[in-house]
Chains A and B, each alone.
Chain A
Amino acid sequence: MKLRRDVFQAIADPTRRAILLLLATQSMTAGAIAANFDTARPTVSKHLQILTECELLEQSHNGREIYYLINAKKMKEVADFIEPFRKIWDDRFNKLESIMKKYKSKNTD
């Protein structure tokens, strides 16, 4: 539940959407990304942190430099608008399963 909200938080913000667009075709360092925005560098870092936490971005270390790149698998999941719907049913069925497992052990003891 938390993870899903975070992903939507990520794509709902215009700066973060711009970052994702920027990284669509290339991997870039935080500095190079920040150079594309008027916002302060720490703000851009915060956006990168959120996108990384949501697994929309991955980091790749090249010597002392950290490059950011898009996690294509996760992006595809977000692009698929059915996924939140599926997740709701999955959560619901998981709950059904755990309740009935408890019910079973309670009634066979």
Chain B
Amino acid sequence: MEQKTKVKAEDGRQEMMITREFDLPLELLFKAYVEPEIVEQWMGTKVLKLESKKHGSWEIETSDAGGNVVFRAGGVIHEFIPERKITRTFEMENTPFGVQLEIYEFQRLTDDTSRLNMHVIYESVAQRDQVLKLPFAQGINMAHNRIQNIADKLK
């Protein structure tokens, strides 16, 4: 089966392309990137600020059950063309991943389908590879931690 979400990250390059086709009209896809309360729902995070305009800025934050902030990210919006393009920066606070430049292109395919091309450029090849490997490393760590927890209980 063809995958709906594709990630293209060539070796030795400091960029990647994430492509996705949606069973949604272009207007609805774009709205999901502009309306703060909708962004909050699908990103699973709190939107502190989202100024969807040229030279606007944005900020998001996620807290754990105890109210401690576990994730905060933000950036500035460089270009904003409704239902066509958003160019923005993205930076995760307190991480070594640096700033990334994100170019979102929204395309109408049919009346009911649309495509998003997300071109992400990193400061270096090493930083891109770190971001790419993060979920893989977390998966292995989670498994290790679980095994460790079970082992601790057996002691």
Whether A95 pairs with B140 at a CB distance below 8 angstroms is no
Pick the contact of A81: B6, B24, B132 (CB < 8 A).
B132
Give chain B's interface secondary structure class. Answer: helix
Pick the contact of A85: B28, B132, B140, B143 (CB < 8 A).
B132
30 A-B pairs with C-beta separation under 8 A? A5-B142, A7-B139, A9-B147, A12-B140, A13-B147, A81-B133, A82-B7, A82-B136, A84-B135, A84-B139, A85-B131, A85-B134, A85-B136, A86-B7, A87-B135, A89-B20, A90-B4, A90-B5, A93-B4, A93-B5, A93-B116, A94-B4, A95-B41, A96-B22, A96-B42, A97-B22, A97-B23, A100-B28, A100-B31, A103-B31
Whether A8 pairs with B38 at a CB distance below 8 angstroms is no
A85 contacts across to B, CB distance below 8 A: 7, 131-136
Whether B9 pairs with A12 at a CB distance below 8 angstroms is no
Q: How far is the CA of A28 from the CA of B4 in the complex (A)?
A: 36
Q: How far is the CA of A80 from the CA of B146 in the complex (A)?
A: 23
B103 on interface, CB distance cutoff 8 Å: no
B3 on interface, CB distance cutoff 8 Å: yes
Q: How far is the CA of A105 from the CA of B126 in the complex (A)?
A: 44
Q: How many B residues touch the partner, as a band?
A: 35 or more
Count of interface residues, chain A, beta-carbon cutoff 8 Å: 29
When each residue 1-16 of chain A gets 1 if its CB lies under 8 Å from chain B and 0 otherwise, what string results?
Answer: 0001101110111000
Pick the contact of B5: A8, A9, A13, A86 (CB < 8 A).
A86
Whether B143 pairs with A99 at a CB distance below 8 angstroms is no
Q: How far is the CA of A96 from the CA of B24 in the complex (A)?
A: 10
B144 on interface, CB distance cutoff 8 Å: yes
- CB-nearest residue of chain B relative to A13? B147
Q: How far is the CA of A14 from the CA of B132 in the complex (A)?
A: 25
Whether B143 pairs with A12 at a CB distance below 8 angstroms is yes
Q: How far is the CA of A81 from the CA of B22 in the complex (A)?
A: 25
Contacts A86-B7, A90-B3, A100-B32 hold; do A8 and B139 have CB atoms under 8 A apart? yes
Whether A82 pairs with B28 at a CB distance below 8 angstroms is no
A92 on interface, CB distance cutoff 8 Å: yes
Whether B142 pairs with A101 at a CB distance below 8 angstroms is no
- CB-nearest residue of chain A relative to B131? A85
B146 contacts across to A, CB distance below 8 A: 9
B60 on interface, CB distance cutoff 8 Å: no
